[in-house]
């Protein structure tokens, strides 16, 4: 009887000692097993809050859609007055470039067309007005600070095109030219169709209309350019005379004396006549 009681007490004492040792070791699981109350953990200290760092480019503000449109590069990055061709535009978080506009000295214009090739690349087909002057051009999209993505340069290699209607070939007289002009300007009255392009390339001049080449001549073959005026004011009709006797009569696509006069003066400067 005494032996069994002694063994039982020994076991109780061992259990208490194990519990005390486990508690001293900080084992919450051991304390839970013997029914001891769970002690709260002592906090190790609070971490100091760190403020988020400012964005790398604070000068770029989010657009209305919540993303920043940043134009990084154009290729080619220059064009002459009257230049026409394709320009590859790349940027960060690009949304298509459909709102792309060029703000140049003497002219502001939009691309004739935009082809989206990816979120960071579009191809814009442009036709620079002949009134554009040499120098950097801003755009409606943000660019890297201090870097202009595009400029107007007379030495740029892009082909030059001038929109015009072909009124006829030969030494046409005043009344005949005026009738042709009326036909072009009045839809439904013998309309001449879409305007064409007088294209200037190094060493050549040609006229293309509706995808068809009407004539191609060497630039050195141009004898003279003449402008028709009434009361001392240009009326928008001009002609190109070649050394071989050919004469082509044109009207500026933007009918009106001042615009066509600028077009005429531009051609005469480029052809040196």
Per-residue pLDDT tens over the stretch 92-149: 756 656 678 999 999 999 999 988 888 888 899 999 999 899 999 988 888 776 677 8
> What is d(CA 244, CA 123) in angstroms, rounded to the nearest whole number?
41
What pLDDT is attached to residue 172?
92
CATH architecture, domain defined by 160-271: Roll (2.30)
What pLDDT is attached to residue 182?
83
What pLDDT is attached to residue 176?
92
Mean pLDDT of 196-212: 90
What pLDDT is attached to residue 223?
94
Query: What CATH fold (topology level) applies to the domain 70-152?
Result: Immunoglobulin-like (2.60.40)
4-23: pLDDT as tens digits: 444 444 454 445 454 444 54
- In the sheet that holds 150-152, the strands lie side by side as 78-79, 150-152, 135-139, 102-104, 107-109
What pLDDT is attached to residue 230?
85
Mean pLDDT of 25-37: 45
Phi/psi at 101 (5° precision) = -135, 150
226-251: pLDDT as tens digits: 998 888 888 888 999 999 999 999 98
- Residue range(s) occupied by CATH 2.60.40.10 in the chain: 70-152
Model confidence at 33: pLDDT above 70: no
What pLDDT is attached to residue 128?
94
19 DSSP 8-state letter: H
Residues 6 or more apart from 80 whose CB is under 8 A from it? 128, 152, 153, 154, 155, 156, 158, 160
> What is d(CA 61, CA 95) in angstroms, rounded to the nearest whole number?
15
What pLDDT is attached to residue 259?
73
77-108: pLDDT as tens digits: 999 999 999 999 988 756 656 678 999 999 99
Give the other-Cβ count within 10 Å of 160's Cβ: 24
Phi/psi at 161 (5° precision) = -135, 140
Cβ-count burial of 217 within 10 angstroms (0-12 exposed, 13-18 middle, 19+ buried)? middle
Q: Return the closest-CA partner of residue 159 out of 83, 88, 92, 95.
A: 83
Per-position b or e across 55-72, b if 16+ CB within 10 A of its CB: eeeeebeeeeeeebbebb
What end-to-end distance do the CA atoms of the chain give, in Å? 136
What pLDDT is attached to residue 82?
93
> What is d(CA 248, CA 239) in angstroms, rounded to the nearest whole number?
6
Question: What percent of the chain has a predicted confidence (pLDDT) above 90?
Answer: 35
Helical segments of the chain, H only: 2-24, 28-33, 174-185, 257-271
The tokens of 239 are what? 């002609």
- Residue range(s) occupied by CATH 2.30.29.30 in the chain: 160-271
> What is d(CA 146, CA 15) in angstroms, rounded to the nearest whole number?
79
Measured in residues, the chain has a length of 273
Q: Which of 63-67, 107-111, 181-185 has the highest mean pLDDT?
A: 107-111
pLDDT category of residue 49 using cuts at 50, 70 and 90: low
What pLDDT is attached to residue 88?
93
The tokens of 11 are what? 């076991």
What pLDDT is attached to residue 185?
74
pLDDT category of residue 58 using cuts at 50, 70 and 90: very low
**Arithmetic mean of pLDDT over the chain:** 76
What pLDDT is attached to residue 43?
53
> What is d(CA 128, CA 97) in angstroms, rounded to the nearest whole number?
18
């Amino acid at each position: 009887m005494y032996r069994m009681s002694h063994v039982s007490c020994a076991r109780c004492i061992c259990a208490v000692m194990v519990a005390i040792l486990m508690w001293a070791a900080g084992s919450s699981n051991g304390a839970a097993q013997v029914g001891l109350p769970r002690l709260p953990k002592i906090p190790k200290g609070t971490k100091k809050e760190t403020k988020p760092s400012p964005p790398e480019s604070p000068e770029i503000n989010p657009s209305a859609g919540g993303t920043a449109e940043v134009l990084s590069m154009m290729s080619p990055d220059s064009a002459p007055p009257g230049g026409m061709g394709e320009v590859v535009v790349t940027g960060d978080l690009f949304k298509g470039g459909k709102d792309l506009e060029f703000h140049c000295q003497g002219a502001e214009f939009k691309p004739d067309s935009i082809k989206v090739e990816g979120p960071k690349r579009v191809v814009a087909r442009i036709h620079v007005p002949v009134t554009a002057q040499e120098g950097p051009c801003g755009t409606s999209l943000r660019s890297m600070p201090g870097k202009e993505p595009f400029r107007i340069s007379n030495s740029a290699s892009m082909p030059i095109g001038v929109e015009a209607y072909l009124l006829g070939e030969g030494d046409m007289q005043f009344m005949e030219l005026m009738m042709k002009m009326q036909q072009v300007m009045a839809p439904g009255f013998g309309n001449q169709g879409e305007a064409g392009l007088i294209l200037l390339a190094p060493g050549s001049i040609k006229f293309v209309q509706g995808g068809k080449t009407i004539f191609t001549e060497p630039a050195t073959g141009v004898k003279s350019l003449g402008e028709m005026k009434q009361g001392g004011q240009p009326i928008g009709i001009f002609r190109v005379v070649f050394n071989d006797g050919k004469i082509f009569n044109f009207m500026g696509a933007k009918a009106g004396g001042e615009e066509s006069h600028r077009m005429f003066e531009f051609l005469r400067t480029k052809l040196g006549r």
